[in-house]
Structure 1
Amino acid sequence: MDCRSGCGACCIAPSITRPYYGMPQGKPAGVRCIHLDEAMACRLFNDPRRPAVCAAFRAEPEVCGESREQALQILDALEILSRPG
């Protein structure tokens, strides 16, 4: 599956706990990454400064659902389920 144009859910819903370029404190869940542009595309997509967790992400129907809204809901639920403790 290719990423859905104009989605950006994977750049909003999940947290990134490690510091990365432009976000030295990482990114809390539900917060838009500063590298997400107006078209909801990653400005760091082919940049080596892109976080490893982002580079490893693969769009899959089970995660991305049928719409941007559904992707946000699924990724938010996965974020909650994956919290330690």
Structure 2
Amino acid sequence: MQCRAGCGACCVAPSIVTPFWGMPRGKPAGVACVHLTPERLCALFGDPRRPDVCSAFQADIAVCGDSRAAALANLEQLEILSRPD
């Protein structure tokens, strides 16, 4: 599956615990990355400063669903389920 243009759910829902360019404290879950453009695209796509976790993410129907709302809900649920006890 190709990323849904204008979605950006993966740039909002998950947390990123490691520091990266532009976000030296990482990114909390539910907060848009500072590199998410108004068109909901990644301004660091293809840039070596892009976090490894973002570069490794592959859009998949099981995660992204059939809409941005579904992707946000699925990613939020995965974030909750992956929290340490």
Residue in structure 1 matched with residue 6 of structure 2 by the alignment = 6
Matched letter for residue 23 of structure 1: M
Q: Are 2:64 and 1:60 aligned?
A: no
Is residue 80 of structure 1 aligned with residue 80 of structure 2? Answer: yes
CA distance in 1, matches of 2:61, 2:67: 10
Count of residues paired in the alignment: 85
**RMSD between superposed Cα atoms in Å:** 0.2
Deviations, residues 19-40 of structure 1 (Å, cap 9, x unaligned): 0000000000000000000100
- 1:39 to 2:39 alignment: yes
For 1:18 and 1:74, how far apart are their aligned partners in 2? 22
Unaligned 5+ runs, structure 1: none
Q: TM-score w.r.t. structure 2 length? A: 0.99
Question: What is the SS of the residue equivalent to 1:38?
Answer: coil
Moved over 3 A (4+): none
Distance of 1:21 and 1:28 partners within structure 2: 15
Q: Normalized against structure 1, the TM-score is what?
A: 0.99
Q: List alignment gaps of at least 5 residues for structure 2.
A: none
* Cα deviation code 1:48-76 (max 9, x no counterpart): 00000000000000000000000000000
Give the fraction of aligned pairs with identical amino acids, expressed as a percent: 64
